[in-house]
Amino acid sequence: MPELPEVEVSRLGITPHVLGQKVKAVQVWFPTLRWPIPEAVKLLQGEEIVAIRRRAKYLLLDCVHGSLIIHLGMSGKLHVLPTEQPRQKHDHFELELDNGMSLRLNDARRFGAVLWQLPDETHVLLASLGPEPLTDDFDGERLFALSRGKAAPVKSFIMDNAVVVGVGNIYANEALFASGIDPRRAAGKVSKARYQKLAELIKVILARAIVQGGTTLKDFMQADGKPGYFKQELSVYGRAGELCSICGSKIKQIRIGQRNSFYCPKCQR
């Protein structure tokens, strides 16, 4: 599933081609993705895209009448290509732009979403989200304060979107390894100093992943069709049974919150 870096890479990829363009037509080829595509998305027709933003794993394309919200789901990809290029299998939604290009959502599993948000309103899916991890609103003080008394594993805690958005499974594993924190440890048992280090490393790892174009494990591709290269820098994720790059112990794999989790039994405590 595309995580925050992959969504940010998608935003950066489509922005030069979409920002400032007028929408000539809105094509809905499959009206029911994760949720039905609302008729209000047709309000984009004839409007200029004045901003392209990301909130957590959602992309927002703003115009005067509201914002188109796109979620990539499990396998969604955004492509910018000439409008006359034939529609491909699993192309479900398209914005035809006045520069002769189109923005298309391709989603084989159809678990993505295309939604609408009115001006000066916040969609229900965005209403309860925590701070963005790459901003000053997120730090170790926040993690420490919110974690007190919590028995849930620290990995589940930092993946809670009410705590901080966008720390998905891949990057939670990597940040905890870099911080030396066992993912099974109760969130309330992690010290303030260790949370400060963890918050700093979450920022570093997410920023590095964005620079590398995200992580391609199976489905994710950038808007230009290139894979993400951060996979080459993964220290523990997907490396069960391989040797830890620091101590040489075998990386272990367990399930935490129904997610595959990877850690070094010696380096993380």
Distance, CA of 187 to chain centre: 23
Neighbours of 46 (CB within 10 A): 14
DSSP 221: -
d(CA 185, CA 148): 13
Query: Is 0.75 topped by the overall pTM?
Result: yes
Q: Which domains occur in the chain, in start order?
A: 4-117 (3.20.190.10), 140-263 (1.10.8.50)
Active site residue 16: no
What is the total residue count of the chain?
Answer: 269
Single out the catalytic residue among 11, 54, 57, 231.
57
d(CA 146, CA 140): 10
DSSP 128: T
Backbone φ and ψ of 103, nearest 5°: -105, 120
The answer to whether the annotation marks 150 as part of a ligand binding site is: yes
The answer to whether the annotation marks 109 as part of a ligand binding site is: yes
pLDDT of residue 229: 44
pLDDT of residue 45: 96
pLDDT of residue 232: 66
Backbone φ and ψ of 7, nearest 5°: -70, -40
> Which pair of structure tokens corresponds to residue 30?
């499959």
3-state DSSP call for residue 256? strand
The answer to whether the annotation marks 90 as part of a ligand binding site is: yes
| Residuewise pLDDT in 10s, the chain (269 residues) | 678 888 999 999 999 999 999 999 999 999 999 999 999 999 999 999 999 999 999 999 999 999 999 999 988 999 999 999 999 999 999 999 999 999 999 999 999 999 999 998 999 999 999 999 999 999 999 999 999 999 999 999 999 999 999 999 999 999 999 999 999 999 999 999 999 999 999 999 999 988 886 554 344 344 555 544 455 678 999 999 999 999 999 999 999 999 999 999 999 99
Active site residue 110: no
Query: Nearest to residue 27, comparing CAs of 97, 80, 89, 74?
Result: 97
Q: What are the C-alpha distances in Å from 96 to residues 35, 52, 82, 99, 120?
A: 22, 16, 9, 9, 26
Active site residue 42: no
pLDDT of residue 228: 42
Single out the catalytic residue among 3, 8, 94, 96.
3
Active site residue 57: yes
3-state DSSP call for residue 15? helix
